[in-house]
Amino acid sequence: MADNYLTGRGNPWDYDPGPPRNRKWPRLFSETPNYRGLSKAVMGSEKFRWHFGPMYYRGRLGDNQVKVLVIGQEGGQDEALSHRSFTGSSGSRMQHFLNHIGINRSYLFLNTFVYSIFNQYSSTKVRWLAQDPDSPIQQQRQEILDYVLERNDVHLVIAVGTAAKETVATWVESRGGNCQGSNVENCDASVLGQNTKIIGVVHPGGASSGNLGAIRADFKRVARKIDRWAAADPAWLPSDPGGTRSRAADYSYGKVPIPFRDLPFGVAWRLGYGSTTSNRKDSQRGIQIFSKAGKYGNRGHRLSYSDRAHGSPAGYSDEPGDLPYEPPVADYKDYDRGPGASMGRLLGGGKNGYKWPDWNANGADAHPSFGYGPIYRGRPRKATVIVLADQRSHDDLMTFRALTGEAGQRFQGVLDAIGVDKSYVIVRVLPIDTLDISSAARNALVDHSQVRKVYSEIVRSIARANRRNKVLLAMGPMAKRLAPHVNPTGLPVVELKAWGQSGAASNWRDAIDALKTMSYGKDQARPSYSWDGARSQIPRIDLPYGTTRWEGSSGDRVRKARRGSSPSPDYYKILMPDWAYDLDPRPLTATEQAATDTAPR
């Protein structure tokens, strides 16, 4: 059952909404330096894996919520998919350590670099990029770290690995402190705060090089040090509510899953499950995620994919200063903060009496370790147009939102044509992958009494969230089948074909004509009621924080693997479109160019 994959993580409807918009966090993160251009200027080649965007943080960003700051080197492919730091194997090791010292909530994870680096952190030039005061990368990171202190009383800083230890030393020295020698634990922590202490640990990633014994010993050493500090001052680092500090003697090197409250709503449950759950493919262009039954790099499993999802920029649109492989820069506050606590619980099957059924026991073949997150897109509490929509691609698994592939990109033009660019919500039928099961099996799931009950409550809750007139659109065979049974408030219904069905484009135009005569709340005073059939992009306000600009554009970006002659429920791959993959680095500004003049040659 899917519930087996929730152990130790909380509930899927406990999620991270992204940075608070009334603080500097979104702006600070959006000011990402030109990693690609700086790398080429300083190192002569591209040092960073830029294709899937930066990874800024994981944990708390609210005021006075951070007691422990964890700093690492950079993220990997799991982090690139989740758009959160420390969600892979090293993150699960550090989560276990934090749990051991009783800190299960009041932490923040950051990194030396927001982009993953090729090879190791070793050369003089890469150290210049990371630590030199003239480096724009160092400057942006210092501003972020200083803002952590401005909004919090940090009691403990943990540096994970060599790069992080150097980053902490650089930070201390930038604030007027001194670090005696190479041991970061000798740094003057008082310049970070009167209650702050600093420790450093060996990076858990070194275990793959045969250093597991040394890593275990180092973590044990640090646990003993924290024990001594806590014994000397019990008020220094109290356990979080619900947390329990264990004795250093009882510490064992291990890992635990990442809590759902640290991840976006709708995240694939495999991400943060407690180990690495994805691998890079296609010369950095793709990332493959695998189920609990899958293998890293699909070892022993012969897979094939239908194509490389080359895509095209048709419909893509951004603002000046934006980069396709980063989140919005110009409109950095454009991201979806999730459905809210009550609606999130309902969508996630957590409301009392409205639990989702056991999908696999009722005919589904989706692997339960992926969960059932991508069920909605839009604004449930403000919707005047409620859309029940069949799944049309696998993109939703990777974007964590419903109808984000080709079909959704086409449908976005319909919403704009009827004058609704914000006041809509799309609810997917069903929240698991059903593209490769029979029509009979899909119908059986749609007809399940509990499925109807949950969707009925979802539609009812959305409909009563505001008083404006509303309409229900049913798009696709399953949505049409479900709609009559889940419309308790008697909303007017307009049926549409699913994109890809014969005659869908003309059918959608007919639906637009029908809506022209109906009463529903609009965002535009004079809608065009005209749709040219072109592809748009999914608005950034519909997608979780950290989503790159190329995601939700360029058609279907995700492919499901085939194992032999059959679709495999265990592997999916997201692929960057060719036009974005082929982009050259952005040219350096005059200021950036001047900064690189001080770099080592």
Give per-residue pLDDT as tens, 496-509.
Answer: 999 999 999 999 99
CA angle 178, 182, 187 (to 5 degrees): 30
- Locate 307 and state its tokens: 């194509």
**In the predicted model, what is the mean pLDDT of residues 261-278?**
97
Q: Is the torsion defined by CA of 417, 421, 424, 428 positive or negative?
A: positive
Question: pLDDT class for 328, splitting at 50, 70, 90?
Answer: very high
Residue carrying structure tokens 């859309």: 387
Query: Distance from first CA to last CA of the chain, Å, rounded?
Result: 57
Q: Give the integer Cα–Cα distance in Å for 86 and 157.
A: 15
pLDDT given for residue 210 in this prediction? 67
Instruction: List Cβ neighbours of 41 (8 Å cut-off, separation of 6 or more).
Output: 588, 592, 593, 596, 599
Instruction: List Cβ neighbours of 105 (8 Å cut-off, separation of 6 or more).
Output: 60, 65, 240, 241, 242, 243, 261
Q: Is the torsion defined by CA of 581, 586, 592, 595 positive or negative?
A: positive
Does 414 have pLDDT greater than 70? yes
Residue 348 phi/psi, 5° resolution? Answer: -85, 5
Identity at 396, one-letter amino acid code: D
Asked if 92 and 256 count as a contact pair (C-beta separation under 8 A), the reply is yes
Asked if 226 and 233 count as a contact pair (C-beta separation under 8 A), the reply is no
Kindly list the distances between the CA atom of residue 478 and the CA atoms of 110, 403, 555, in Å, as whole numbers in the listed order.
Answer: 43, 14, 22
pLDDT given for residue 1 in this prediction? 56
Does 82 have pLDDT greater than 90? yes
pLDDT given for residue 467 in this prediction? 87
Tell me the angle at which helices 124-131 and 35-43 cross, rounded to the nearest 10 degrees.
Answer: 140
Cα dihedral 152, 27, 285, 435 in deg (nearest 10): 80
Asked if 547 and 537 count as a contact pair (C-beta separation under 8 A), the reply is no
Give per-residue pLDDT as tens, 214-259.
Answer: 999 999 999 999 999 999 999 999 999 999 999 999 999 999 999 9
Identity at 56, one-letter amino acid code: Y
Q: Is 409 helix (H, G, I), strand (E, B) or coil?
A: helix
**In the predicted model, what is the mean pLDDT of residues 342-353?**
97
- Locate 106 and state its tokens: 């009041």
Instruction: List Cβ neighbours of 150 (8 Å cut-off, separation of 6 or more).
Output: none
pLDDT given for residue 208 in this prediction? 64
Residue closest to 478 by CA, chosen among 518, 514, 437: 437
- Locate 32 and state its tokens: 């990402």
DSSP 8-state secondary structure symbol assigned to residue 435:
T
All structural domains of the chain:
31-256 (3.40.470.10), 317-566 (no CATH)
Asked if 561 and 567 count as a contact pair (C-beta separation under 8 A), the reply is yes
Kindly list the distances between the CA atom of residue 231 and the CA atoms of 156, 171, 224, 236, 248, in Å, as whole numbers in the listed order.
Answer: 15, 28, 11, 9, 12
Question: pLDDT class for 83, splitting at 50, 70, 90?
Answer: very high
Q: Which residue has the higher pLDDT, 119 or 195?
A: 195
Cis peptide leading into residue 430 (ω within 30°): yes
- Quickly count: other Cβ atoms within 10 Å of residue 161's Cβ: 23
Does 207 have pLDDT greater than 80? no
Tell me the angle at which helices 136-151 and 35-43 cross, rounded to the nearest 10 degrees.
Answer: 140
Give per-residue pLDDT as tens, 112-126.
Answer: 999 999 988 989 999
Give per-residue pLDDT as tens, 470-493.
Answer: 999 999 999 999 999 999 889 999
What proportions of the chain, in percent to the nearest 5, are helix, strand and coil? 35, 15, 50
Tell me the angle at which helices 136-151 and 162-174 cross, rounded to the nearest 10 degrees.
Answer: 70
pLDDT given for residue 601 in this prediction? 87
Of all residues in the chain, the percent with pLDDT exceeding 90 is 96
Give per-residue pLDDT as tens, 23-41.
Answer: 999 999 999 999 999 999 9
pLDDT given for residue 205 in this prediction? 81
Residue carrying structure tokens 């045969």: 210
**In the predicted model, what is the mean pLDDT of residues 293-317?**
95
Question: pLDDT class for 209, splitting at 50, 70, 90?
Answer: low
Give per-residue pLDDT as tens, 437-452.
Answer: 999 999 999 999 999 9
Q: Is the torsion defined by CA of 523, 526, 530, 531 positive or negative?
A: negative
Kindly list the distances between the CA atom of residue 171 and the CA atoms of 121, 278, 481, in Å, as whole numbers in the listed order.
Answer: 18, 33, 60
Q: Taking the model in full, what pTM does it have?
A: 0.97
- Locate 351 and state its tokens: 């409301």
- Locate 116 and state its tokens: 């993953």
**In the predicted model, what is the mean pLDDT of residues 531-543?**
97
